Amino acid sequence: MNKRYNTLNAYYRRLFGEKIFKVPIDAGFDCPNRDGTVAHGGCTFCTVSGSGDAIVAPEAPIREQFYKEIDFMHRKWPEVKKYLVYFQNFTNTHDKVEVIRERYEQAINEPGVVGINIGTRPDCLPDETLAYLAELSERMHVTLELGLQTTYEETSALINRAHSYELYVETVKRVREQAPKIEIVSHLINGLPGESHEMMLENVRRCVTDNDIQGIKLHLLHLMTNTRMQRDYHEGRLQLLSQEDYVSIICDQLEIIPKDIVIHRITGDAPREMLIGPMWSLNKWEVLNAIDQEMERRGSYQGCCLEENL
Convert the pLDDT of each residue in 132-177 to its tens digit.
999 999 999 999 999 999 999 999 999 988 899 999 999 999 999 9
Q: In whole angstroms, how far apart are CA 187 and each of 6, 85, 96, 108, 182?
A: 16, 18, 24, 23, 16
Residue 35, pLDDT score: 86
Q: What is the mean pLDDT of residues 109-120?
A: 96
Mean pLDDT of the chain: 92
Residue 56, pLDDT score: 62
- Res. 237: pLDDT tops 90: no
pLDDT tens digits along 296-308: 999 999 999 997 6
Q: What is the mean pLDDT of residues 52-57?
A: 58
pLDDT band at 1 (very low <50, low <70, confident <90, very high): very low
Q: What is the mean pLDDT of residues 75-101?
A: 93
Q: What is the mean pLDDT of residues 82-109?
A: 94
Q: Cα dihedral angle (288, 52, 48, 196), rounded to 10 degrees?
A: -30
Residue 291, pLDDT score: 97
Q: In whole angstroms, how far apart are CA 277 and each of 150, 207, 219, 243, 290?
A: 20, 27, 14, 11, 19
Beta bridge mates, 183: 143
Residue 60, pLDDT score: 87
Of 119-123, 193-197, 224-228, the poorest mean pLDDT is in 224-228
Q: How far apart are CA 185 and CA 219, in angstroms?
A: 13
CA angle 12, 14, 18 (to 5 degrees): 70
